[in-house]
């Protein structure tokens, strides 16, 4: 079986989103998840931008995906002791899931278009 890799920059974007959430935890200690979710969404919307060549539905899915990862970064320090190995395992698991999903899309694409 061929090993597929997530497009370049994707792993860095995952780490960025996670760390964005962690930084919000320390910046907004008393904020609710709902409040922070709104702030994180605005940051991600500005960062992802509204390029004309990107389908609005695809852009929205990307924003939601990175928002979920950022919220993990926000929530995790509140519910678990800080451990670098936990962060590494979590980010590795997220990347593996992305690679599995990416591979599945490619395989389905071959079946659909072959």
What number of other Cβ atoms are within 10 A of residue 74's Cβ? 25
The helix (H) or strand (E) run that includes residue 66 is helix 56-79
pLDDT of residue 5: 42
| Domains in the chain, number | 1
pLDDT of residue 1: 34
pLDDT tens across the length of the chain (114 residues): 333 344 447 788 899 999 999 999 999 989 999 999 999 999 999 888 766 677 888 889 989 999 999 999 999 989 988 888 888 899 889 988 988 887 766 666 654 433
In a domain? residue 29: yes
In a domain? residue 108: yes
pLDDT of residue 74: 95
In a domain? residue 5: no
In a domain? residue 2: no
Separation between Cα atoms, residue 12 and residue 6, nearest integer Å? 11
In a domain? residue 75: yes
Q: Which residue intervals of 2-52 are DSSP H helices?
A: 10-27, 33-48
Distant-in-sequence contacts of 9-16, Cβ < 8 A, 24+ apart: 10/98, 11/95, 13/66, 14/66, 14/69, 14/91, 14/94, 14/95, 14/98, 15/91
pLDDT of residue 114: 34
What range defines the domain where residue 30 resides?
10-113
Judge contact between 14 and 91, C-beta under 8 A: yes
């Amino acid at each position: 079986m061929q090993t597929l890799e997530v497009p370049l920059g994707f792993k860095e974007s995952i780490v960025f989103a996670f760390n964005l959430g962690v930084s919000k935890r320390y910046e907004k200690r008393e904020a609710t998840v709902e409040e922070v979710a709104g702030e994180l969404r605005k940051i991600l919307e500005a960062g992802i931008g509204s390029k004309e060549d990107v389908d609005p539905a695809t852009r929205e899915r990307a924003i939601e995906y990175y928002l979920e990862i950022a919220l993990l970064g926000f929530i995790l320090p509140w519910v678990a002791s800080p451990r670098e190995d936990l962060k590494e395992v979590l980010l590795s698991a997220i990347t593996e899931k992305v690679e599995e999903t990416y591979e599945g899309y490619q395989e389905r694409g071959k079946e659909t278009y072959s």
